[in-house]
């Protein structure tokens, strides 16, 4: 068995993570009580990647849900779907959020949550037969998702240096930040993703809101969960290329630090292959504002889902690894998930860095972040690290 442990943090991370579990439970025919209701070997073959089996035969998500703020976890706990999560894997410690403050989440005003989550991770690791690694859903904007998420990434690297870590991270490229210290949270969070994570799939709320004409997080989260489901088909179903985290990270990130990935999801109703190829790079289907029509893409994987004729696919997708999974997404009978390591990330990082530097030079709001024990050096290191990363992108252009 090659298990993956899933960790979801903060409000955004918990909402997206729960949708992901909803999605993959359907795909593996697991009902809300954890009972498997199908006969097909396809769904069961690699189910242990994400689900544990209890002594009474039920399947339970190998997931740890945590937040400082009780509301989100309580609402999952009280939902019909939430019953599937073991209650001892839902962790709340505190009464308040980190108020979007990266410093509070990272420096742990609330040590209790750090201990509870770390202990739970250790317990889960001990239960695994041959752990592949960890995946995390979180936002880089909030105090818990970004700050506490960074702390957990540091800890995973420290305790399990030979296991892989992958994140599904939301951010926002909006010109007008929703929260004033957003540029700090994002750059400080990216600093830890560069250092302590092997693969990071980024999702830009601004791109999704603009291009999907959607106004609710509910819609956005469903799209993001569908993409995560698409990417993880490689780990969850038999006979896929990039069939485990190590193969996936090796192929998708030819340069070790340049492991930031953009993705797209394209429904395939009545599209010819040539049209599909256009659509997968079209702005309306992309999760990040990268221009795939221009610029280099160092690695790309196309994951086809549903009943699809395989003829001609190689002709239209010669530049990408392609894989097929017969189990479709619930919403689309046939779909294509693309994941690419694209140079366009550089420009996005430059924008975040510019905003960060403008504020940091004037020492704006530094006091608020450092009050919780954060050292100003952390800002300097984060700025330098992102600068270096941008140089590394430039050097291979
Ligand atoms: N895509 C998506 N983005 C969200 C969602 N909820 C919040 N966000 C975005 O993420 C940012 C951070 O919010 P939260 O996830 O609530 O923050 P947190 O990680 O809980 O951290 P604190 O509440 O500050 O402790 C928000 O400003 C939103 O822009 C969500 O459900 N989906
Ligand atoms: Mg919160």
CATH code (residue 149): 3.40.50.1440
Give me the percent of the chain exceeding a pLDDT of 70. 99
Ligand nearest to the CA of 138: 1
Phi, psi torsion values for 192, nearest 5 degrees = -75, -30
Same domain, 372 and 301: no
Are 230 and 331 a contacting pair, CB within 8 Å? no
Same domain, 182 and 210: yes
- CATH assignment at residue 278: 3.30.1330.20
Give the number of the atom of ligand 1 that is nearest the alpha carbon of residue 172: 29
Ligand 1 center to residue 182 CA distance, Å? 11
Same domain, 54 and 141: yes
How confident is the model over 111-161, as pLDDT tens digits? 788 899 999 999 999 999 999 999 999 999 999 999 999 999 999 999 999
Same domain, 18 and 146: yes
- Burial (CB < 10 A; 0-12, 13-18, 19+), residue 377, is exposed
Same domain, 136 and 9: yes
**Is the CB of residue 344 below 6 angstroms from any atom belonging to ligand 1?**
no
Domain enclosing residue 50, as ranges: 4-252
Number of independent structural domains in the chain: 3
Task: Indicate yes or no: pTM above 0.95.
Answer: yes
Query: Last residue of a domain, which of 252, 270, 301?
Result: 252
pLDDT band at 94 (very low <50, low <70, confident <90, very high): confident
Same domain, 126 and 38: yes
Same domain, 173 and 270: no
Are 348 and 309 a contacting pair, CB within 8 Å? no
Give me the percent of the chain exceeding a pLDDT of 90. 76
Same domain, 352 and 326: no
Average pLDDT, the chain: 92
**Is the CB of residue 65 below 6 angstroms from any atom belonging to ligand 1?**
no
According to the model, what pLDDT value does residue 96 have?
82
Tokens at residue 305, please?
A: 């889902």
- The runs of H, that is alpha helices, within 166-237 are 182-196, 205-212, 217-236
Same domain, 112 and 195: yes
Length of the chain: 397
How confident is the model over 345-376, as pLDDT tens digits? 999 999 999 999 999 999 999 999 999 899 99
């Amino acid at each position: 068995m090659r298990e993956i442990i899933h960790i979801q943090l903060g409000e955004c991370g918990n909402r997206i993570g729960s949708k992901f579990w909803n999605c993959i439970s359907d795909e593996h025919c697991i009902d809300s009580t954890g009972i498997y209701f199908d006969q097909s070997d396809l769904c069961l073959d690699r189910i242990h990647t994400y689900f544990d089996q209890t002594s009474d035969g039920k399947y339970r998500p190998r997931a740890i849900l945590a937040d400082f703020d009780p509301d989100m976890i309580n609402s999952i706990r009280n939902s019909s779907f939430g019953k599937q999560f073991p209650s001892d894997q839902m962790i709340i410690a505190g009464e308040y959020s980190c108020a979007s403050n990266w410093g509070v989440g990272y420096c742990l005003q609330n040590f209790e949550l750090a201990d509870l989550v770390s202990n739970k991770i250790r317990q889960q690791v001990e239960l695994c037969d041959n752990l592949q690694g960890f995946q995390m859903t979180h936002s880089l904007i909030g105090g818990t998702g970004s700050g506490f998420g960074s702390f957990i990434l540091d800890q995973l690297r420290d305790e399990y240096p030979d296991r892989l870590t992958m994140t599904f991270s939301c951010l926002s490229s909006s010109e007008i930040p929703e929260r004033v210290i957003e540029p700090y949270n994002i750059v400080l969070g990216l600093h830890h993703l560069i250092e302590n994570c092997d693969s990071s799939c980024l999702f830009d709320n601004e791109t999704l809101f603009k291009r999907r004409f959607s106004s609710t997080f509910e819609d956005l989260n469903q799209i993001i969960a569908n993409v995560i489901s698409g990417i993880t088909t490689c780990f969850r179903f038999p006979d896929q290329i990039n069939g485990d985290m190590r193969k996936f990270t090796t192929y998708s990130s030819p340069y070790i630090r340049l492991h930031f990935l953009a993705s797209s999801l394209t429904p395939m109703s009545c599209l010819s292959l040539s049209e599909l190829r256009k659509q997968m790079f079209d702005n309306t289907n992309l999760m990040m504002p990268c221009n795939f029509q221009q610029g280099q893409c160092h690695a790309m994987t196309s994951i086809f889902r549903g009943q699809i004729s395989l003829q001609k696919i190689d002709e239209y997708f010669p530049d990408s690894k392609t894989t097929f999974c017969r189990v479709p997404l619930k919403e689309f009978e046939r779909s294509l998930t693309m994941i690419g390591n694209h140079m366009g990330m550089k420009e996005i990082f430059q924008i975040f860095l510019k905003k960060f530097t403008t504020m940091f030079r004037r020492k704006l709001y530094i006091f608020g972040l450092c009050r919780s024990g954060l050292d100003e050096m952390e800002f300097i290191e984060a700025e330098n690290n992102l600068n270096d990363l941008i140089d590394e992108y430039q050097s291979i252009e």
